């Protein structure tokens, strides 16, 4: 099949196949593992409630082996009676697994390294140990009443043939799901697609993609995994997480909907409040140009963009910002045009003539260059009053 034919085939499949992807958000686990981040119990509960209110179907809520305080926090989230299924994370150790008892959660992610470098350098173990541990520990987790996700740490650097053996061992042991972790964020979408497609072809297990953003590809890799057959994905609010973070919930949920028509059950209309809550609780402010939630994501200055938006939003609107609880914001600056100037003053109740807008434009551009920001309403009024004063003085003379 040539490239053009394959591209058409993918578009056809997307149009014809309605799929649901389950988001397993890990803000309260991997998100909190971001260096220097620590949520209070009240913050955890508030974030869990907001995630649940958006319709996020699964929440990974902590690491029981960290101690009794962590377990009490997990029990407190469980006591909220959320609609979301709750997941806890555990190393694939018998002692860690024992800490997962009586927490009122549905699933446990039993994580085990699968790359040779992790096995040899970190644990001093071999591949046979991995397969035996999976065989031994998965049934023990089931005895606790937990469904099991086998989490393959550093799967992206594992030998592909061995990875298939790990998946097969997980299935035989009774696991429900296999988590493919790109632990260091070293994969790219084409490689992810081929890998996940291969894994999906050899197992009936659910397949979950866990992507990190070290190369800025976490969202792209997550979407590629879904196109290849992944049924579940891990996300975090605002992309919080280890090092460069995880795949952002807002980008993944929106991308699955807008690009592929995949359903997630997540309604992002209330996302700005959740984003702000996580930013405050984590002490990690959202970047101005962060997609979907950044202040600049729907802010427009360039003259041709503003002119187009004023005529019809569809000219420069990839999706309706209302879908994510946002709206377009038009500002004035160095790259503004007269249409934008007139619109800005009209918003303040002042009807400028085209000639007045042309006369004000150089002053607005000069202000933006000096101040390194757009002028506010009071500053725009000052510039207008100065213009009127000059005009009046010119008439006198």
Structure confidence by residue, pLDDT tens digits, 330-380: 888 888 889 888 988 998 999 999 999 898 989 889 898 899 998 999 989
What's the rounded Cα separation, in Å, for the pair 159 and 161? 6
Give 291 or 392, the one with higher predicted confidence.
291
Evaluate the CA torsion angle 309, 312, 313, 319 in order and state its sign. Answer: negative
pTM beyond 0.85: the answer is yes
Per cent of the chain over pLDDT 90 is 75
How deeply is 100 buried, as exposed, middle or buried, from its count of CB atoms within 10 A (0-12, 13-18, 19+)?
buried
* Confidence label for 16 from pLDDT (cuts 50, 70 and 90): very low
What's residue 393's pLDDT?
Answer: 53
Cα–Cα distance for residue pair 335/368, rounded to 1 Å: 9
Give the N- to C-terminal CA distance of the chain in Å, as an integer: 79
Query: What backbone torsions phi and psi does residue 241 show, to the nearest 5 degrees?
Result: 150, 180
pLDDT band at 328 (very low <50, low <70, confident <90, very high): confident
**In this predicted model, which residue has the larger pLDDT, 278 or 297?**
278
Dihedral of CA 65/69/75/80: which sign? Answer: negative
State the Cα–Cα distance between residues 9 and 365, nearest whole angstrom. Answer: 49
pLDDT digits (tens, 9 = 90+) for 63-119: 999 999 999 999 999 999 999 999 999 999 999 999 999 999 999 999 999 999 999
> pLDDT of 168-214, one tens digit each?
999 999 999 999 999 999 999 999 999 999 999 999 999 999 999 99
Per-residue pLDDT at 218 exceeds 80: yes
- Helix, strand, coil percentages, rounded to 5, for the chain: 55, 15, 35
Q: Is the pLDDT of residue 12 over 50?
A: no
Closest to 352 (Cα-Cα) out of 332, 326, 324, 322: 332
3-state secondary structure of 59: strand
Contact 297, 290 (CB under 8 A): yes
- In what helix (H) or strand (E) does residue 91 lie, and over which residues does it extend? strand 85-91
Confidence (pLDDT) at 17: 57
**What is the pLDDT at residue 11?**
41
Question: What stretches of 144-283 show up as alpha helix (H) in DSSP?
Answer: 160-173, 189-200, 218-228, 249-255, 271-282
SS3 108: strand
State how far the Cα of 336 lies from the Cα of 260, in Å rounded to an integer. 35
Dihedral of CA atoms 149, 151, 155, 158 in degrees, nearest 10, equals -100
Query: What are 75's two structure tokens?
Result: 């029990």
Classify residue 256 as exposed, middle or buried by CB count within 10 Å of its CB (0-12, 13-18, 19+). Answer: buried
Q: In this structure, what DSSP letter does residue 234 have?
A: E
pLDDT of residue 310: 80
pLDDT confidence bin for 306, thresholds 50/70/90 = confident
Q: Quote the CA–CA distance of 23 and 359 in Å, as a whole number.
A: 53
| pLDDT above 70 for 7 | no
pLDDT band at 2 (very low <50, low <70, confident <90, very high): very low
pLDDT at 10 over 50: no
Is the pLDDT assigned to residue 55 strictly greater than 60? yes
Give the pLDDT of residue 368.
87
Query: What is the residue-averaged pLDDT of the chain?
Result: 92
């Amino acid at each position: 099949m040539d490239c053009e034919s394959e591209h058409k085939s993918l578009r056809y499949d997307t149009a014809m196949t309605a799929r649901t992807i389950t988001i397993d958000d890990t803000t309260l686990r991997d998100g909190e593992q971001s260096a220097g981040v620590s949520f209070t119990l009240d913050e955890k509960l508030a974030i869990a409630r907001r995630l649940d209110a958006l319709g996020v179907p699964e929440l990974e809520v902590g690491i029981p082996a960290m101690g009794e305080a962590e377990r009490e926090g997990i029990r407190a989230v469980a006591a909220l009676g959320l609609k979301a299924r709750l997941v806890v994370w555990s190393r694939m150790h018998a002692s860690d697994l024992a800490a997962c008892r009586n927490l009122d959660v549905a699933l446990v992610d039993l994580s085990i390294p699968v790359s040779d470098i992790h096995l040899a350098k970190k644990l001093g173990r071999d591949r046979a140990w991995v397969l035996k541990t999976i065989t031994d520990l998965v049934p023990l987790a089931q005895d606790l009443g937990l469904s099991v996700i086998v989490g393959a740490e550093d799967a992206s650097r594992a030998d592909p043939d061995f990875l298939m053996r790990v998946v097969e061992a997980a299935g035989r042991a009774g696991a429900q799901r296999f988590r493919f972790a790109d632990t260091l964020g070293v994969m790219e979408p084409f490689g992810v697609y081929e890998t996940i497609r291969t894994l999906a072809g050899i197992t009936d297990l659910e397949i979950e993609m866990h992507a990190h953003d070290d190369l800025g590809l976490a969202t792209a890799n997550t979407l590629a995994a879904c196109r290849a057959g992944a049924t579940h994905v891990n996300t975090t609010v605002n992309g919080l997480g280890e090092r460069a973070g995880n795949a952002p919930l807002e980008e993944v949920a929106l991308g699955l909907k807008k690009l592929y028509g995949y359903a997630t059950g997540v309604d992002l209309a209330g996302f700005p409040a959740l984003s702000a809550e996580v930013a405050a609780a984590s002490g990690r402010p959202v970047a101005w140009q962060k997609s979907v939630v950044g202040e600049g994501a729907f802010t427009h200055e360039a003259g041709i963009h503003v002119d187009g938006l004023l005529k019809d939003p569809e000219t420069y609107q990839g999706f309706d910002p209302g879908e994510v609880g946002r709206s377009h914001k038009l500002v004035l600056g160095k790259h503004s045009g007269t249409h934008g100037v007139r619109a800005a003053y009209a918003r303040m109740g002042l009807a400028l003539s085209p000639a007045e807008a042309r006369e004000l434009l150089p002053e607005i551009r000069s202000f933006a260059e000096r101040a390194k920001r757009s002028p506010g309403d009071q500053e725009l009024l000052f510039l207008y009053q100065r213009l009127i004063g000059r005009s009046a003085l010119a008439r006198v003379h």
